[in-house]
A and B are shown apart, each in its own frame.
Chain A
Amino acid sequence: MTLQTLTYLVVGASFALYIAIALRTRAASTGDFYVAGGGVHPIANGMATAADWMSAASFISMAGLIAFLGYDGSVYLMGWTGGYVLLALLLAPYLRKFGKFTVPDFIGDRYDSSAARLVAVLCLIFVSFTYVAGQMRGVGIVFSRFLEVDLGVGLVIGMAIVFFYAVLGGMKGITYTQVAQYCVLITAYTVPAIFIALQVTGTPVPQLAFGATLPGESITVLEKLDGVVTELGFRAYTDGAKSTLDVFCVTAALMAGTAGLPHVIVRFFTVPKVSDARRSAFWALAFIAVLYTTAPAVGALARLNLHATLQPGPMTEPAGSLAYAERPGWMKTWEATGLLRFEDKNGDGRIQYYGDANPAFAAQAEAYGWAGNELTVDPDILVLANPEIAQLPDWVIALIAAGGIAAALSTAAGLLLVISSAVSHDLLRRTFVPELTDKQELRAGRLAAAGAILLAGYLGYNPPGFVAQVVAFAFGLAAASLFPALLLGIFSLRMNAAGAISGMLTGLLFTLGYIVAFKGVFMAPLFPNTADAWLLGISPEGIGALGMVLNFAVAFTVSAFTAPPSPATRALVENLRIPRGAGDAKAH
């Protein structure tokens, strides 16, 4: 059987499974649609949360970014998992006790203000669409490579599948589909990792292979890798290029952003009790940790394999570099997608892949007869190409395709549901059309989800940059807008609507403005995106941390000069601090 047929088979089988689950768990009420009736077991919920939260960025991009960034890639590992701790400790139990459907619901009720609810909806829509754009690019990459269909056709298939189970099944369908998707994606991630760990180090556990000694040599994987990459003029793998302050800020922004992401928070409304919300958070992190501790090993081993493929002999001899005509099949197929490019700068018909931006290496490269780096590798392809680079069997490669699609679709579905509930519940029923019935609200929700899918598909067809980067901006926006408002709503009795609203708007506008000024969304960047031009040396990826500090500062200042919240609001906050008495999540 060819790889192509096998891929269709594996991906097709996984789709059939998701659709079967969606059909069995169709939502009948708004409660089922938004929060699965509040009755999902903590372990199942933890697994669904893990699938929801591990997006295309985690699955497809992260290990590739780590492979090329080395130490700097740690921000994604610590940031995304550490944010989970913030969410579990500071928000999840209290929002579960509060027991409403959506994040704007909480903000609107806690601050007793429709304006606050509207601002929260605005922040939520910005965050969710930025995030969904990243997912759709991931889907596009997987489809265009493995199904070898046109990107547009692939996207339409993906959109139809998401529409089917998110729109018909609602949260209940999504929850059980995501349990299945977790199983698919984690198998797809760990199986090739185990194979490669065995191949390179003889240890089957990737987490141990990460520091293992290479067989027949006296050095470890990382020592070898540091040696190989510095010899080629790259920065040592265990070194970082980012300043300590920037690493600190990016990590902080990713952490607070994870905690402020609406589609992850809403997950905690689906368990029966407050204590279940805490247990569920532990399980979710445990399921996430399986992938997140495997990723650094995948990154390091893939980088090692990549260099071994491209530079099989010594650099002093011209024949040490791989001849372009003898390149392996995976390079040819990735070249077709445009995500891998070769340019024979010195015209010797061989591939020289080295750090040509390093002035200290320039003289050496010239002595070898090299005229610049000739290979451009998009980090997004590394995880997908990894099994092919390591020459693993075809079924493993097919599995990776199914896993990547599962990761992107499960997250996209969760986000679309959050967007649709923001429109039908928060905007229509709670703000503009209060006389809406349950049934009409459900219909409006499905319509909004359909609209959101179309827009997401458009964004996927015209993708804005690297998956993980786009996603990192969504986290920055969430950190600077929603997270402080949620945190203060629970931990401060004095915080009022004026403070929360001005804080959210300051954080959102500052962070968005900074990102647009340096990265240029729908316009040319105003400033060069370099460390010298950045405010305090903080990159656009990390600016959400500063936006969050501004949000807190503005919120405290404004609330100190305006009237304290009403006794009813105080009673609400005092009530949500006590676990006892959490009923099912309710609409009102």
Chain B
Amino acid sequence: MHDPSHRAYWRANLALIARCLGLWFLASFGGGILFREALDAFTVLGVPAGFWFAQQGAIWVFLAVLAYYGWASHRLDQKFDVDDD
């Protein structure tokens, strides 16, 4: 990346991806697998929370992550003037 603004764009883009992957990991590997037993002490919509994350919640979080990514990445493209519109 010889163009400094492109380099800054790529760094900001990597930071955005890292935030999204953090949420992705927390909801699935975190809530549904690693912390499942601790979370099962609570319930969500009548289902033990860890079990709910594994079979329902993780999927809803994934969807929210992609909605956020779609919005935030477009804003990033515009800020660095690299958008494709």
Name A's B-contacting residues (CB within 8 A): 66, 71, 73-74, 77-78, 81-82, 84-86, 88-90, 93, 207-208, 210-213, 220-222, 238, 244, 247-248, 251-252, 255, 273-275, 278-279, 281-282, 285-286, 289, 292-293, 296, 574, 577-582
List A contacts of B45 (CB < 8 A). Answer: 207-208, 210-211
With A574-B6, A581-B84 known to touch, is A78 a contact of B46 (CB < 8 Å)?
Answer: no
Name B's A-contacting residues (CB within 8 A): 1, 6, 9-10, 13, 17, 20-21, 24, 28-29, 32-34, 40, 43-48, 51-52, 54-56, 58-60, 62-63, 65-67, 69-70, 73-74, 77, 82-85
Minimum CB distance partner of B54 in chain A: A74
How many residue pairs between the two chains, A and B, have CB atoms under 8 Å in the bound complex?
A: 136
List B contacts of A221 (CB < 8 A). Answer: 46
Are B47 and A289 in contact (CB-based, < 8 A)? no
21 examples of A-B residue contacts, CB within 8 angstroms: A74-B32, A77-B55, A77-B59, A78-B33, A82-B28, A84-B66, A89-B69, A210-B45, A211-B45, A213-B46, A238-B40, A255-B28, A275-B77, A275-B84, A275-B85, A278-B73, A285-B66, A289-B62, A579-B82, A579-B84, A580-B84
Q: How far is the CA of A208 from the CA of B73 in the complex (A)?
A: 33
Are B46 and A212 in contact (CB-based, < 8 A)? yes
List B contacts of A88 (CB < 8 A). Answer: 66, 69
Partner of A582, one of B20, B47, B84: B84
Are A211 and B1 in contact (CB-based, < 8 A)? no
Task: Add 7 more A-B contacts to A82-B28, A211-B47 (CB < 8 A).
Answer: A74-B54, A77-B59, A78-B59, A275-B85, A281-B70, A289-B62, A580-B82
In whole Å, how far is B84's beta carbon from the nearest beta carbon of chain A?
Answer: 5
Are A238 and B48 in contact (CB-based, < 8 A)? yes
B interface: dominant SS: helix
In whole Å, how far is B65's beta carbon from the nearest beta carbon of chain A?
Answer: 6
List B contacts of A78 (CB < 8 A). Answer: 28, 32-33, 54, 58-59
Are B58 and A81 in contact (CB-based, < 8 A)? yes
Are A66 and B59 in contact (CB-based, < 8 A)? no
Are B70 and A580 in contact (CB-based, < 8 A)? no
List A contacts of B17 (CB < 8 A). Answer: 89-90
In whole Å, how far is A279's beta carbon from the nearest beta carbon of chain B?
Answer: 6
Q: How far is the CA of A282 from the CA of B74 in the complex (A)?
A: 13
Q: How far is the CA of A367 from the CA of B17 in the complex (A)?
A: 59
Q: How far is the CA of A93 from the CA of B32 in the complex (A)?
A: 28
With A82-B28, A82-B58 known to touch, is A275 a contact of B66 (CB < 8 Å)?
Answer: no
In whole Å, how far is A427's beta carbon from the nearest beta carbon of chain B?
Answer: 32
